[in-house]
Amino acid sequence: MKTRAIILAGGEGSRLGVLTAKRTKPAVPFAGKYRIIDFTLSNCVNSNIFDIMILAQYRPHSLIGHIGAGGPWDLNREFTGGVRIYTPYKARRPTNWYSGTADAVQQNFSFIKGTNPDLVLILSGDHIYEMNYDALIEFHFDHQADLTMATKPVLIEDASRFGIVGVEDNYRVSSFIEKPSKPPSNLANMGVYLFNLQVLDKALWEDYNSPNSSHDFGKDILPNLIKQKKRVFAFPFTGYWMDVGTIKSYWQAQMDLLKTPPSLDLYDRSWVIHTRTEERPPVRFEKDITLINSMVSDGCVIESGAKVTRCILSPGVRIKANAVVNESILLTDVIINQGAQVTRTIIDKRAVIGKHARIGGIDIDNKLVAIGKNSHIPDHLIVEPGVVIQNDVVPTNFHSDRIITGETIKRTQQDHYEI
């Protein structure tokens, strides 16, 4: 049986704020050296699925550059599958931007069925997890399913963020509600769907012709298939899974990597997470530093007297003398200048923290600070928890107060495009 994987990677990811201002959510860096989409891609190739389509839309340039021809994932194949990226296009019949997840698949369905797959595996490109899809496929056949959807219990207080699944004793799905305000249970839809090709084709065509549909899998396709008494089953996933759709969940998923043992083991050589990496020199530690329970990528330099605790440092980060960084995520080429203190902060690429600045902290609401690409924080500035500093902010964009609290700092010059 032949399986073709479709990775939905077109989301704007607005709840990730500054991290998705200039890139699509699946292209956001994660765990130092990776991008979020690397986890879904690696799950495919580790499950021996090498025929993959990626459906992109919002600011795809960074994603396209990262995937390239697919070499790091052994997907640079010409005649035996490989990876291809599809974006919205103008054709003779009416086409438009993807209006929903189902519409994205429908607009590309002629390409999807071009290789005559038996099964279509639809995946999200913005989730952090490790899954052997072979087990999902075996479950699908064992239950003679039309559609199998992966499910996992979540905290009941978080359940309203997800589609909630009702199941019978044999795992057959009896009900589905997309993001209910009062969830009837905590069994969440993971956004992993395995369809028989003909079932998917018919469901998408019916949805396409429905004038009242929002053309979304969760809101339309799944409820309709259940209503039609199709054989829809819930695959019980027991591993770690996180939808990193918010700043807090993005931060928490990376803090989970620093637990003992980690919630997701990136060091398991039987399940490698592949990625595209650049050449960087070895990490350099100077004298009298303190480094506790952190992940440090190639090219980082930690200077004398600096202290780093429970942090994730991407390639090229430089922490200068006597700086202190706690429970923070620093993306590529960030600079923390001498004597600065940074706590519970997410800092995007090439941002600079000034000397003796104090950024973030620990408060009762667990608020984080988020700082965008290329921003430069002035010396001695105090930035309280919960502040957002957007991309390309320069020292002159800050007002004369030395304490910034409860606001968003923007740059005043016209924005420019950069990936």
Contact 273, 236 (CB under 8 A): no
Mean pLDDT on 149-169:
93
Which residues is 394 bridged to in the sheet? none
**DSSP codes of every residue in 139-196:** HHHHTT-SEEEEEEE--GGGGGGSEEEEE-TTSBEEEEEES-SS-S--EEEEEEEEEE
Which residue matches tokens 């199998």?
148
pLDDT (tens digit, 9 = 90+) per residue, 109-121?
988 988 889 999 9
Band (pLDDT 50/70/90 cuts) for residue 170 is very high
DSSP assignment of 297-309: -TT-EE-TT-EEE
- Which candidate, 389, 221, 30, places its Cα nearest to that of 399? 389
Burial (CB count within 10 angstroms: exposed 0-12, middle 13-18, buried 19+), residue 91: exposed
- CA-based radius of gyration for the chain: 23
Read off the pLDDT of residues 343-354 as tens digits, 9 standing for 90 and up. Answer: 999 999 999 999
Is the pLDDT score of 153 beyond 80?
Answer: yes
pLDDT of residue 208: 87
Range 68-79 average pLDDT:
88
Per-residue confidence (pLDDT) for residue 380, from 0 to 100: 94
Domain segments of the chain as ranges: 3-256, 284-409
Q: CA–CA separation, 364 vs 183, rounded Å?
A: 27
Tell me, yes or no, if the two domains 3-256 and 284-409 fold the same way: no
The CA-atom distances, in angstroms, between 354 and each of 49, 81, 339, 376 are: 47, 49, 9, 7
pLDDT value at residue 416: 44
**Three-class DSSP category at 396:** helix
Domain 284-409, architecture per CATH: 3 Solenoid (2.160)
Name which of 23-27, 130-134, 136-140 the model is least confident about.
23-27
What sign for the dihedral angle of Cα 21, 69, 299, 26? positive
Choosing among 3.40.605.10, 3.10.129.10, 3.90.550.10, 3.40.50.20, the CATH entry for 3-256 is 3.90.550.10
Q: In this predicted model, what pLDDT tens digit does every residue of 365-379 receive, in sequence order?
A: 889 999 999 999 999
pLDDT the model gives residue 414: 47
Q: Identify which of 74, 80, 84 has the alpha carbon closest to the alpha carbon of residue 111.
A: 84
Distance CA 332, CA 30 (A): 11
Q: Give pLDDT, residue 419.
A: 39
Between the ranges 157-171, 236-250, 297-311, where is the mean pLDDT highest?
Answer: 297-311
Q: Is the C-alpha dihedral spanning 404, 409, 411, 417 positive or negative? A: positive
* Residue 73 DSSP class: G
pTM: 0.92
Mean pLDDT computed over every residue of the chain: 91
pLDDT digits (tens, 9 = 90+) for 239-254: 999 999 899 999 999 9
Query: How much is the pLDDT for 122?
Result: 97
Residue with tokens 């010396």: 379
Percent of the chain topping pLDDT 70: 95
Average pLDDT for 285-295: 97
